[in-house]
Structure 1
Amino acid sequence: LHSYRDLPLRMAEMGLVHRHELSGTLHGLMRIRAFTQDDAHIFMLPSQIQDEIIGVIDFVHDVYEVFGFKYHVELSTKPENAIGDDAMWEQATDALRHALEAKGVEYVVNEGDGAFYGPKIDFHLEDSLGRTWQCATIQLDFAMPERFDLVYIDENNERKRPVMLHRVIFGALERFIAILIEHTAGALPTWLAPVQVAVIPVSDALLDYADEVANRLFAAGIRVEVDRRDEKMGKKIREAQLQKIPYMLIVGKKEQESGQVAVRHRRQGDLGTLDVQEFLGRIQEEIAERRNG
């Protein structure tokens, strides 16, 4: 048994979910038969409901802001297949509504679209094409604690029923990744890009200097690759652009002699010649600030 002093009790996991989807409905990473869900459940006192909901609303906002997503919010109410009585549903819906209003969050009511066990707040991401995707959700549940006979001991040493909150932030991780890739057209921000810098020597004679530059960046935590292929420099730059690598560092004999690099950005083009340390400082600052440009 848990004491009221133990609550709220927050439990989270990355769970693998399987769905036997109908033939023809599968679509890339958007709709798949097995996906990873960032599932969490919070068990709390009735007096803690608003603070816990607000905490999750803040969590969702902070995560989506990092990725540069806009979103809108819906409050989904009692569906036709609901379990539990009307009083329980009214209490749960009011709790969600009061939390949204306390935060000053604009929302629309989506009548009848709640989960069968409780109402929910849904967060719909908007991508660069104006499409919306329902990802995060906060579901308040008075019914499941009743069905599973969950109890805690209150301050009067009596058994009481906790309130349960279901929440996900990303929803299906695979689908969120797909939405992010489409939103950015594959040009992930520097802090998130799998390869942040490509070092491109103008000839094989500059490979040692290219390796020296790459090693300095790698030692500082930058994800960097050296293009060692026997190809023309223009082709190497073009292919790095197609791979959406944020930065290309071109190194020739002049750069080797001066200890510098010629910097090229995938969108802004030629940024001029910089000392390696100066470039390192700039990219570290961009990564630390998690810029989405």
Structure 2
Amino acid sequence: DNPAIEAEVIDMLSRLLKQLGLEDFNLLINSVGCSVCRPAYVNKLREELRAHADELCEECRRRTETNPLRVLDCKVPSCQPVIERLPAIADWLCEECREHFALFRKYLDIHGITAQLAPRLVRGLDYYVRTTFEIVSNRLGPTQNAVVGGGRYDGLSELIGGPPTKGFGFALGMERLVLLVSGRSELGAPYQAPAPEIFLVHLDTPAFEHNLKLAAELREDGIFAYIDFEGKSIKSQMRQANRVSAKFTCVVGESELQTGRFMLKRMTDGAQVTLGRNEVSEYLRKEE
């Protein structure tokens, strides 16, 4: 329960981001109280929101009844004037929660970590208590800019049938982190998805089902096989094979299923080879 643990976790995250070459991020913090003080705040919040329901978007009106704290997360511009006038949860914290949050901020200072108090920063899930935080980067835009978010979730273990257990953790947005570090010379070239060794084109449902099994067998042999799942035409599937830079294509229809012979076409030069099904994997491995 010691808030020093929370500061330690955030210090670890800060060091990680800096080691990845990120310096321009901000730490936002708040406290969402506990089961003692939060219910009164939620009731007050719901009361205020109901009084201004006609100024809120449809989603916020729904959340007013189901989970008022989630209204504070709303990014709809027309809702912001109402949200800005709502009471802050910091004014409703019990003495223990106030002391916990004050110690947390003290320990951040000891670590030399600058934090910005964000009164509207909440977690809409009931098992979150006390400390919440986000690490944001303006390079991701003004709204969906959180790289890391988390907090204390002492109630989670009990919620899923476990014993009372203290907890503090976070979720890290890998896609957003990749966007921020991509292209940095010291980290190597930006990530590029590998090209499929083969794109299996199907003409009908039996061919599609055959290709599912063939793709699984090829993947078992370490070969990247690609299949269309959207029911596209042959022409569209071939265009997709070009878009994903597949090395080979193989069109499967009734004839291929009957004969057990499959024609592979190399996309770079159009060269073709006809193989038995059990020869496809070995041929592709040699062509890698």
TM over 0.5: no
Q: Structure 2 length as normaliser, TM-score?
A: 0.37
Identify, as 1 or 2, the structure richer in strand.
Answer: 1
